[in-house]
């Protein structure tokens, strides 16, 4: 038994090294003082972290990514919360099909979805780049909003809502005063998860960006095609820190295991 536990522990350690090793290497190489990305670094320097803010396109595309993610989140919430409520509150014909349709953006390959949006939103309907990018990010965030909010609603006792209705509260007042406060933590967690999905998205953004309009991940790809310095490693470290903070917030709000119950 002791040997089996030792073997399982060693295997777990190897898995963690396999998963976290590349992140550790990127983090270390971001402090390379030279002009070429290398591991191990020849010294220690914060030059490439400062260089991020000296390249004009990085702050600009970071701002674009933030704006698109926030606006997309708002639109996804306006669409996703009513959809999640209807799917959990009512039984109707075609419910499973509708639920599958809402979740389909995470099942369809991103390249296929991105090319389809490019063809119809930008080429056929001539939407501006910003509008097309916003629609694309809203579509990919919507399944996460519906899934996470739906998980919260699945544990909500709708008898409380019925009690409020029986006491004279209208449907809208009951929804905003009774239902939403009880699933508030789920909504916040959904916003954080959807934000991460949008902010780090590459495949949809690759098709929906163009001259003068780009997101941070696309700008990073463009930069690494022409330069091989540690700037991208430094940005990656900052994004890992941002992701870690958001995931820590999600864990504190609901616990990551909460979303595996359904």
Residue 1 has pLDDT above 80, yes or no: no
> Quick check: is 37 in a domain?
no
Least confident interval from 77-81, 99-103, 244-248 = 244-248
53 pLDDT higher than 50: yes
Q: Please report whether residue 69 resides in a domain.
A: yes
C-alpha neighbours within 13 Å on the C-beta side of residue 13: 6
Average pLDDT over residues 95-113: 85
Model pTM? 0.82
- Rounded-to-integer distance, Cα 14 and Cα 67, Å: 39
Is residue 20 included in any domain, yes or no? no
Q: Is residue 30 part of a domain?
A: no
pLDDT at 250: 67
CA separation for the pair 208, 206 (Å, rounded): 6
Average pLDDT, the chain: 84
What torsion, rounded to 10 degrees, do the Cα atoms 244, 249, 254, 259 define? -30
pLDDT at 199 exceeding the cut of 70? yes
Residue 217 has pLDDT above 80, yes or no: yes
Question: How many domains is the chain built from?
Answer: 1
Q: What's the pLDDT at 262?
A: 44
What pLDDT is attached to residue 43?
83
CATH code of the domain covering residue 151: 1.10.3720.10
Per the model's pLDDT, the better-predicted residue between 211 and 132 turns out to be 132
pLDDT attached to residue 95: 82
Q: What is the pLDDT of residue 3?
A: 62
Q: 237 with 30: CB under 8 angstroms? A: yes
Q: Over the stretch 133-179, which tens digit does the pLDDT of each residue have? A: 999 999 999 999 999 898 888 888 888 888 888 888 888 888 888 88
Residue 215 located in a structural domain = yes
Quick one: pLDDT at residue 2?
61
Residue 195, domain member (yes or no): yes
Q: What is the pLDDT of residues 5-17, one digit of tens each?
A: 777 778 788 888 8
Find the domain containing 171 and state its range.
Answer: 57-91+100-258
The fraction of the chain above a pLDDT of 70, given in percent, is 94
Q: Is residue 159 part of a domain?
A: yes
120 part of a folded domain? yes
């Amino acid at each position: 038994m002791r040997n089996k536990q030792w073997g399982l522990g060693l295997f777990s350690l190897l898995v963690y090294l396999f998963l976290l090793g590349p992140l550790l290497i990127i983090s270390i190489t971001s402090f390379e003082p030279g002009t070429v990305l290398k591991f191990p670094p020849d010294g220690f320097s914060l030059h490439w972290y400062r260089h991020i803010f000296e390249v004009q396109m990085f702050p600009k595309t970071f701002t674009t990514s933030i704006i698109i993610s926030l606006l997309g989140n708002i639109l996804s919430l306006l669409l996703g919360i009513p959809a999640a409520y209807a799917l959990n509150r009512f039984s109707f014909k075609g419910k499973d099909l509708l639920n599958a349709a809402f979740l389909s953006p995470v099942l369809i390959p991103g390249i296929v979805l991105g090319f389809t949006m490019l063809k119809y939103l930008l080429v056929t309907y001539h939407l501006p780049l910003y509008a097309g990018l916003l629609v694309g990010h809203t579509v990919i965030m919507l399944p996460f909003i519906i899934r996470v909010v739906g998980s919260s609603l699945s544990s909500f006792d709708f008898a409380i809502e019925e009690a409020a209705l029986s006491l004279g509260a209208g449907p809208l007042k009951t929804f905003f005063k009774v239902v939403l406060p009880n699933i508030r933590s789920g909504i916040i967690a959904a916003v954080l998860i959807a934000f991460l999905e949008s902010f780090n998205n590459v495949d949809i953004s690759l098709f929906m960006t163009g001259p003068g309009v780009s997101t941070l991940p696309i700008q990073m790809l463009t930069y690494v095609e022409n330069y091989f310095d540690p700037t991208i490693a430094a940005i990656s470290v900052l994004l890992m820190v941002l992701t870690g903070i958001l995931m820590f917030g999600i864990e504190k709000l609901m616990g990551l295991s909460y979303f595996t119950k359904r």
